[in-house]
Structure 1
Amino acid sequence: MTSDELVNLHGVGVLRCASDGPQLDGEGAALDLIGDAMGRDAQVVAVPAERVGEEFFRLRSGIAGAIMQKFVNYRVRLAVVGDVSHHVAGSTALRDFVHETNQGGHIWFLADLDALDEKLRAAG
Structure 2
Amino acid sequence: MTTDTLVTLHDVPVLRCAPDGPALDGEQSALDLIGDAMGQGAELVVLPASRVADAFFQLRSGVAGAVLQKFVAYRVRLAVIGDLSHHLADSSALRDLVHETNQGGHIWFLPDDDALAARLRGTR
Report TM bin, short chain.
Answer: over 0.9
Structure 1 residues 41-84: Cα deviation after superposition (integer angstroms, max 9, x where no partner) = 00000010000000000011110000000000100000011000
Q: Which residue of 1 aligns with 2:80?
A: 80
Shift of 1:93: 0.8
Q: Determine whether 1:70 maps to 2:70.
A: yes
* Structure 2, gaps ≥5 residues long: none
Aligned residue identity for 1:108? W
Which amino acid in the other structure matches residue 24 of structure 2? L
1:11 aligns with 11
SS at match of 1:100: helix
Question: How much does 1:113 deviate?
Answer: 1.4
1:103 and 2:84 correspond: no
Cα root mean square deviation, aligned = 0.6
Q: How far has the Cα of 1:117 moved from its partner?
A: 1.1
- Report the counterpart of residue 27 of structure 2 in structure 1: 27
Q: Distance in 1 between matches of 2:88 and 2:117?
A: 23
Q: Provide the TM-score with structure 1 as the length reference.
A: 0.98
CA distance in 2, matches of 1:6, 1:111: 21
Runs (4+) of structure 1 exceeding 6 A deviation are none
Unmatched segments (≥5 aa) in structure 1: none
Aligned pairs for 1:88-99 within 5 A: 88-99=88-99
Q: Between Structure 1 and Structure 2, how many residues are aligned? A: 124
Q: Identity of counterpart residues, as a percentage?
A: 69
- The aligned residue for residue 43 of structure 1 is 43
Question: Structure 2 CA distance, aligned partners of 1:37 and 1:113?
Answer: 19
- How many Å separate the matches in 2 of 1:69 and 1:117? 24
Aligned residue identity for 1:123:
T
* 1:25 alignment partner, SS class: coil
SS of equivalent to 1:96: helix
